[in-house]
Structure 1
């Protein structure tokens, strides 16, 4: 199988969803994905409740569930902690394993420790996103997918 064909087949099954209320963060991650030719079908949400709804609907109608979620903690109204607490119930009923990466500007060690209490949280990544970090996440999940 050629390298390009192999990358396309992996790409079709390795999905990213990003939840952040800052459009600049979305733009930066989109640009990194385009430059590195990874996560070409990424979805972006500014409201974590919309993502939760879509996950519940996806699970019930068989549409594709993301492999990776990048989650900001500090968002108005419904923050990342709210998402994690509600996702814990949704996670159990999903059709596949979803890895959440907390993606935050918080430097509080208590936030990192608290995020590790959720079994589906893979890591705590400090903003801004580095291209090496995003590529490492892609490689880890592309191989698993």
Structure 2
């Protein structure tokens, strides 16, 4: 098996079917050595705050795929908090919004945020996902 493209990827999404599909693509194409999965923004934010408070920046993912519509804490709420701490990790984190929303307001809002590398509309094709991993130098 070939060497993984990156060390750590993260999916923040409550859609179990989508998460399983993306996980299988990442594993079968050796895109990431490890994978973090959170079902809502609150779980993910708690993880990142723990890393920051415990000086464990090496456990920060290289790439994050964030859904917008989730229970407990949605993607926008997660972003609001995450953008305040992400620069403190001193690591480039590539973050994509992956959503079924085709609302121009959501897309426009995402495009205005410097923390967002792109807005991808579900479903994500396996080749498109692989291109996202390979085009960035982490």
- The question of a shared fold, defined as TM-score above 0.5 by the shorter chain, is answered with yes
2:114: which partner in 1? Answer: 119
Q: Please give the per-residue CA displacement for 1:20-69, whole angstroms capped at 9, x wherever unaligned.
A: 01111110001111221211311111021111121122233224100111
1:140 and 1:90 map into 2 onto residues whose CA distance is 25
Point out 4+ residue stretches in structure 1 off by more than 6 angstroms. Answer: none
Q: CA RMSD in A?
A: 1.7
Out of 83, 89, 107, the position equivalent to 1:88 is: 83
Q: How many residues align?
A: 136
Unaligned runs of 5+ in 1: none
Shift of 1:139: 0.5
The aligned residue for residue 24 of structure 2 is 31
Higher helix share: 1
Structure (1/2) with the larger strand percentage: 2
Whole-Å separation in 1 of the counterparts to 2:78 and 2:48: 12
Give me the TM-score of the superposition, normalised by structure 2.
0.90
Q: Offset of 1:94 from its aligned partner?
A: 1.5
Aligned-partner Cα distance in 1 for 2:59–2:100: 29
Structure 2 unmatched ranges of 5 or more: none
